[in-house]
Every structure is written in C-alpha cells, then in structure tokens.
Structure 1
Amino acid sequence: MPTPKKGPRLASSPAHERLMLANMATSLFQNGRIVTTLPKAKRLRPLAERLITFAKRGDLHSRRRVMRVIRNKSVVHILFTQIAEQMEQREGGYTRIVKIAPRVGDNAPAAIIELVTEPVSAKKAVVKEAEAAVKVAEEAPVEVEETKVEAEATEVAEAVETEAVEAAEVENTEAAADEAEKAE
C-alpha cells in the first residue's frame, strides 16, 4: 500500500482515509465545527481549505471538483452560496483548530476544527492601505525630483537664452552707437 504524502495514515487503507476525510469535511460544512482527534483535524484542514477555495471560484468546473469529494448536493450548495460568500474577503485561513482536553475513552488528543466566520479585521485592511500609501509616497518623490530637475534644466536654458538675447541687444546698441558716431 502506498503511504500518503503528509503524515501517517489515519485508517487501514488510503481509500478508507479519503472516505473518512470526505465525511468529516461534509460534517464540517454542515455544522460549522466538529470535534475530532488532533491528527484527523490536521489532515482535514488542507482538504477543507482547498474545497472552500474552489467554492470561492464558483464556476461549474469547481463545483464538479467539490462534488468528487462531497457527495451531498445540499452541503455543496451551502458551501458555494453561504460559506464562500462569508470567506470572500479572506485570502486563506478559512479554518481554525483548537486543542481541547484528551478524549475520555482512550486519552487521544482531541481538537475542535471550525470555520472562521469572523470578518477580516479592520486592522489588516488599514495596514494594507498604509503599505499602499507608503509605496505611493516612495514613488511620488522620485517623480517630484525628476520634475524639479527638469524645471531647473528649463530655467537654466531660459537664463542662457535671455543672456544671449541681452548680449545680442547690447552688441546691437553698441554697433548702432558706433555707426552714429561715425556718421557724425
């Protein structure tokens, strides 16, 4: 039997493990949270987040890919309409795992895996806006400096032109004065 890529096998065969994870994902999307063992929760998290990412896309191909894992059409409908809408502003981190007291029967480490339904914090949005403002501010002085250099260059060129014009006028007036003296 081939071993899975991430972590130890949770069940007797890979097919059984896939079915267990699919059932846990279905329960997670139906109820919003489930209580399970910590290793199962850690294995469920990437699967659930990938399914939510497909649901956020919302196209037919994504729906069919989700239907490969979750066979219950009503749960898929909830995933694509309600859960994807709640997660629209999130860029990831759709689930959270909270460790709880060990299970009573066999003392296995237990955990709660739940969907993160809180809106994205305003602090992160403010930080992103501040980062964008800093980028704009860094780019703006460069443009201002370039315009200052261009303005200085045009001022120098204008000054040179005015000096040349004044010098030509002075030469013309001197030449006119010399001609007037010669004529007298």
Structure 2
Amino acid sequence: MGTEQTGGDAMEQARRAFDAGADGSSQTAANVAALQQQVADLMAERDAAIARAEKAEAGGKKAKAKVAELPAEKKPRTLKAIDDDKALDRDALKAAIAGAETVEIAFVGKGDREVAGSQPQAIEGEVWKDHPRGLMLDQPVTLHGPAQGGAAYQVAGYALIVDGKPVARTMRSEPLMIAPGQTVKLENDIHF
C-alpha cells in the first residue's frame, strides 16, 4: 500500500512531536519566539501599508497650491541628467510627488550644477497639470537676480527633487539670463 499516511496517522505524529517538545525544551521556546517575531514583522508591514494608503488617500484630496522660495543651498548641488532607463513617466512622477514629504524645483546652470545663489522652490498641493512632455507646473515661479554689483547667472534647466533625491531634469531650449537686481516670473515654463 505504500507509505501514505492517513489523517489519523498524521495527527498522531503531530501529537507525539508536540509532546516531545512540551517538556519546556529550548526548541519549543525558540519556535515560539520565531513565530512571535514573524507576527510582529507582519503587523509592522501592515501598519506601514495602512499609513501609505492613508497618505495616498489624503494626497488625493485637493490640497491648496503653494510654491514658496527656499533658502539658497550653501553649496550648489550636482543635478545630472536622469538616465533614460531610470526616468519616470508621467504616472510615475505623479505617484512620486503624491507620496512625497518634500517636493522642490532647483535651477540648473550650464553643466550639471545647481545655479549658485538661486533659491529652490518648495512645491505643495495641486500645482501640476498634464503636458505633452509629462507634467507642467501650473503656478508661477519668481526668480530674483543677485544683488546689485553681483554677477548675472543663467538658468539652463530645472531639476525636480522629491524627498531630497533628483527624479527628473529638463533643460530649456535657450538659457535664461538673470541680471543683478532683476526679477523674472516664469509661467508655464517648467515641465518634466
């Protein structure tokens, strides 16, 4: 008849295994501790998933649009182009922005460096709209030139920074010169 076990045989074998470990052995305690750790890990995963879902749900509600200047970085950041295989499409950008703690736009000079002295912009709420190239900022951004006597600078492009990490970069067709004392308002110009 082979080596098949009946349900009763399996139960008897399980009972014997339980009885063998029921004497307070460290093996049983280790098994219990391992199971308790698995339960704790699963509960932590569940709690994190609930928190993400609540944040996404709250993000889906209309938040007031806000663009605000941040202090200039003490040391200009390197903001390299994003490799094509790592570039986010429109939906991925929307998801990254919706789930982010902080979103900012930095101004890129010629090369891969942030424009020294430029003020990044903090971005909050419903400020993005679909654009043929991806997403476009639909709120105005104001750039201030350096103080009188300072050197002019050029804005060659923009970098989108989500939770401190550059996720997108786009370059302007023509760099924008910002002269000392000048104020420039950008509208419908920033897209990723």
TM range (shorter): under 0.3
Higher helix proportion: 1
TM-score (norm. length: structure 2)? 0.21
**Structure of larger gyration radius:** 1
TM-score (norm. length: structure 1)? 0.22
